Structure 1
Amino acid sequence: MARKIGSRYTAHQILGRGSAGTVWLGSGPDGQVAIKLLRDDLSADQDLVGRFVQERAALVSLDHPHVVGVRDLVVDGNDLALVMDLVRGTDLRSLLDRERRLPPRAAVSIAADIADALAAAHAAGYVHRDVKPENILLDEATRSALLTDFGVAKLIDEPARGGSRVVGTPDYVAPEIVEGLPPRAAVDIYALATVLYEMLAGFTPFGGGHPGAVLRRHVTETVAPLPGVPDELWRLIHQCLAKGPASRLRAGEVAARLREMSPALAGMPALEIDEPEPEPAHEPVGAAEPAGHIHPPASGAVPLVHGGPDPDSANRETHTSMRVPAVEELAGGAHGTARAPRAPGQPRAGSARHRAAERRRRLRIVAAGTAAAVGIGLGGWLAFGGGDEPTPPAVEQPTP
């Protein structure tokens, strides 16, 4: 059913839903458009509406071939909507849900396009703050990647909204954001490197388990290498995932280096690696709870802030509000390695298969040592002309 959006636009059908709002296929004076209608609770926030109006010129001014352009901002009654260019294609999340992993050259091409978009935005003084597969659109006509939702995270997460919180999707949040520092351009580079890692591996480097545990891993764990990734590409990913923002590359450098290495990746298939075992979410097991109930977190976990977006509104949450972990929760800096990917068939460290393999290896070592000892004893007896039958040495049987 058609719905009027302001005086100039009509929304015809829903294209997708996210936790920040609903995207519609629409039409206006200049043809078809995409209309992002923000959630009712956001449109009812007069402070937020005021900031959107103030930022309208900035949102509309960012013009780049790899950025989904914002054409207009509509504030009409209870409606708060962004009118954007219509991109015919799919988003990167849908592609990854279908393919799981991409060949390295395809992944590098997408990441290079997004790095170009970030370079233009950063040069204009904008930080995206929510780079993730859901916000990367793949244009079928141009076969290129475009970044969308510029400015939305910043506007929704103004300090005036109260408290010291982490806003973003936990898997892609830079460690300095977790520690409560203001977002700079380097947070987008960290998120883009996380997306590139995910395109290659099929999973993010620090994801899995309770969102609070994911946030802590960004601060305290180092990224585990991906088997089979060319050295030059891995060095770029590793540098862009550095804990210190100053150690990361700039967006323009990322784009240039990715395009330089792209020809060497031609024909390389998608990686074949096993995803690490998921970590428990530390949620209590028991009777069903009433809708909307939030369990108290396990000891040391970072709790979700009450009143955040409905987690059922999207497959991956956008603008997930969490409190910043206390200093003692993050003390010590990077001291561990994130869940390490494994080559196919390789047992996970600590698993039953891994323990059985280690036990078999120890048995082989003991058996080889025993055989060597018997051989030495028998050879010595023969060399010195012993006439009696040798007494075989006692062998202690290893405990299985």
Structure 2
Amino acid sequence: MARKIGSRYTANQILGRGSAGTVWLGEGPEGPVAIKLLREDLASDQELVGRFVQERTALLGLDHPHVVSVRDLVVDGNDLALVMDLVRGTDLRTRLDRERRLAPEAAVAIVADVADGLAAAHAAGVVHRDVKPENVLLDMQGPLGPGGSHPALLTDFGVAKLIDSPRRTRATKIIGTPDYLAPEIIEGLPPRAAVDIYALATVLYELLAGFTPFGGGHPGAVLRRHVTETVVPLPGIPEELWQLIVQCLAKAPASRLRASELGARLREQLPLLAGMPPLDVDSPDSEAAEPDEAYEETAEPSAPVARQRRGAVPLVPGAAPDSNRDTHTSMRVPAPDELAGGARGTARAPRATGAPRPGSARHRASARRRRITLGVAGAVLVAAIGVGTWIAVSGDDADATPQDTKNSAPASP
């Protein structure tokens, strides 16, 4: 059912729903538009409406090929809406749900587009604060890029900032999606441009691997991992690309690249990735491992990836890691089982194809074989040492004759 939005726009059809509101296919004086109608509880907040109007100039000033432009902001009674360019395509989350992971060339090309859009926004003093696949649109009518990728555009600029206020969030809520939150936001520091770089690097990791580097389990556990744990390497990608990801996932904001640098460096990697298939890495499992095997290796030595324990890393270089997990989020303090994030209590690690799953029958059988092999080897070693010592002592006996010594050897079975 069509509805009027202000005096100039008509919303005709719902295109999608999100945590902040509903996106409609609409019509305006200049043709089709996308209209993001914010939730009614947000529209009734006079403080938010005032901040909405204050942000109008900054949001309307963003004009870049890889940013979904905001054409207008509407404040009309209970309606609070952003009128945006209509992109004929889908969002990156939908593609990721369909394909699970992308070929490295396409993934890097998409993220490079988004980095270029972020560079323009950061230059204008605008921080997105909620970069994630849901907020990246793929223009299906645009020219194909490297790896057959469609042009990528970042949308929903300013929404996280608009709905974030101390009165609404208090100390029990953090604005953003846990899987993509930079450590400094979790620690309560002001969000700067570097938080977008961290989130975008997380998106790139997800496009390559099929899962985020620190996701899984209770949100409190996810937030803790962002602050305390190091990212697990992905096998099969060029070392230069991996180092880019590591740098942009640095805990210290100053260590990350700027958006313009990231876009340029990613495009330099594209020739190395041409024709490379999607990575062959299994997603981490949530099944519990035995307590004494929680950090045990789950693959044979020749496999490309083995489960490993991560070390805590400090937020500020040179500082000692904080082992008190209760201080790592500004949410309510989660219960111990929530903080554990599953029986293993650590960030999820990729598992090489064919490697036994932690806690599975193959994993337990492999562990038993290793224990049996070590036990047999130990028994043989002890026996050998015992025989050698017995012979050495017998040989030093002054009362023994050469014949006695010869006859003292153990009889054959």
Q: How does the TM-score come out when normalised to structure 1?
A: 0.79
Q: Find 1:278's aligned residue among 281, 286, 290.
A: 286
1:196 match = 204
Are 1:219 and 1:243, in contact at CA under 8 Å, matched by a contact in 2?
A: yes
After TM superposition, give the deviation of residue 386 of structure 1 in Å: 6.7
AA of the residue aligned to 1:147: L
Are 1:90 and 1:138, in contact at CA under 8 Å, matched by a contact in 2?
A: yes
Are 1:68 and 1:146, in contact at CA under 8 Å, matched by a contact in 2?
A: yes
> The residue matched to 2:264 in structure 1 has which SS?
helix
2:235 matches 1:214: no
After TM superposition, give the deviation of residue 230 of structure 1 in Å: 1.8
After TM superposition, give the deviation of residue 14 of structure 1 in Å: 0.6
Are 2:68 and 2:84, in contact at CA under 8 Å, matched by a contact in 1?
A: yes
After TM superposition, give the deviation of residue 325 of structure 1 in Å: 6.0
> The residue matched to 1:270 in structure 2 has which SS?
coil
**Inter-CA distance 102–368: structure 2 relative to 1 (3 Å threshold):** same
2:272 match = 264
1:316-373 CA-partner distances (Å, limit 9, x unpaired):
xxxxxx94467xx9xxxxxx96321111111245554323202213333544676789
After TM superposition, give the deviation of residue 87 of structure 1 in Å: 0.2
Are 2:287 and 2:359, in contact at CA under 8 Å, matched by a contact in 1?
A: no
2:44 matches 1:44: yes
2:170 matches 1:163: yes
Distance (Å, rounded) in 2 between the aligned partners of 1:207 and 1:248: 21
1:305 match = none
1:15-56 CA-partner distances (Å, limit 9, x unpaired):
101111000111111000000011010111111111111111
1:24 match = 24
> The residue matched to 2:279 in structure 1 has which SS?
coil
What's the Cα RMSD here? 2.7
Are 2:188 and 2:330, in contact at CA under 8 Å, matched by a contact in 1?
A: no
AA of the residue aligned to 1:140: M
Are 1:59 and 1:70, in contact at CA under 8 Å, matched by a contact in 2?
A: yes
2:366 match = 357
1:194-240 CA-partner distances (Å, limit 9, x unpaired):
00000011111111111111111111111111122221111111111
> The residue matched to 2:281 in structure 1 has which SS?
coil
Distance (Å, rounded) in 1 between the aligned partners of 2:71 and 2:379: 79
Using the aligned pairs only, state the percent identity: 73
Distance (Å, rounded) in 2 between the aligned partners of 1:249 and 1:387: 75
Q: Where in structure 2 are the equivalents of 1:16-95 lying within 5 Å?
A: 16-95=16-95
Distance (Å, rounded) in 1 between the aligned partners of 2:347 and 2:217: 13
1:398 match = none
Distance (Å, rounded) in 2 between the aligned partners of 1:388 and 1:49: 97
Distance (Å, rounded) in 2 between the aligned partners of 1:132 and 1:105: 19
Q: List alignment gaps of at least 5 residues for structure 2.
A: 143-149, 289-324, 337-344, 392-404
Q: How does the TM-score come out when normalised to structure 2?
A: 0.77
Distance (Å, rounded) in 2 between the aligned partners of 1:125 and 1:30: 28
Are 2:89 and 2:140, in contact at CA under 8 Å, matched by a contact in 1?
A: yes
Aligned residues: 342
Are 1:179 and 1:324, in contact at CA under 8 Å, matched by a contact in 2?
A: no
Distance (Å, rounded) in 2 between the aligned partners of 1:162 and 1:171: 18
1:148 match = 155
**Inter-CA distance 81–369: structure 2 relative to 1 (3 Å threshold):** same
Distance (Å, rounded) in 2 between the aligned partners of 1:21 and 1:279: 35
Q: Where in structure 2 are the equivalents of 1:244-259 lying within 5 Å?
A: 244-259=252-267
> The residue matched to 1:171 in structure 2 has which SS?
helix
**Inter-CA distance 198–388: structure 2 relative to 1 (3 Å threshold):** closer
AA of the residue aligned to 2:122: H
1:390 match = 411
Which structure is larger by alpha-carbon Rg, 1 or 2? 2
2:191 match = 183
Distance (Å, rounded) in 2 between the aligned partners of 1:279 and 1:355: 13
After TM superposition, give the deviation of residue 387 of structure 1 in Å: 11
Distance (Å, rounded) in 2 between the aligned partners of 1:170 and 1:18: 15
Are 2:58 and 2:124, in contact at CA under 8 Å, matched by a contact in 1?
A: no
**Inter-CA distance 279–214: structure 2 relative to 1 (3 Å threshold):** farther
Distance (Å, rounded) in 2 between the aligned partners of 1:375 and 1:181: 63
AA of the residue aligned to 1:146: L
2:348 match = 339
1:173 match = 181
Q: Find 1:223's aligned residue among 226, 231, 238.
A: 231
Would you identify which runs of 4 or more consecutive aligned residues in structure 1 move more than 6 Å? 369-377, 384-389
Q: Find 1:241's aligned residue among 244, 249, 252.
A: 249
AA of the residue aligned to 2:258: R
> The residue matched to 1:26 in structure 2 has which SS?
strand
1:366-385 CA-partner distances (Å, limit 9, x unpaired):
446767899998xx9xxx98
Distance (Å, rounded) in 1 between the aligned partners of 2:189 and 2:382: 63
Greater length-normalized contact order (CA 8 Å, ≥ 6 residues apart): 1
AA of the residue aligned to 1:96: L
Are 1:180 and 1:324, in contact at CA under 8 Å, matched by a contact in 2?
A: no
2:292 match = none
Distance (Å, rounded) in 2 between the aligned partners of 1:219 and 1:352: 33
Distance (Å, rounded) in 2 between the aligned partners of 1:387 and 1:214: 67
AA of the residue aligned to 2:60: V
> The residue matched to 1:356 in structure 2 has which SS?
helix
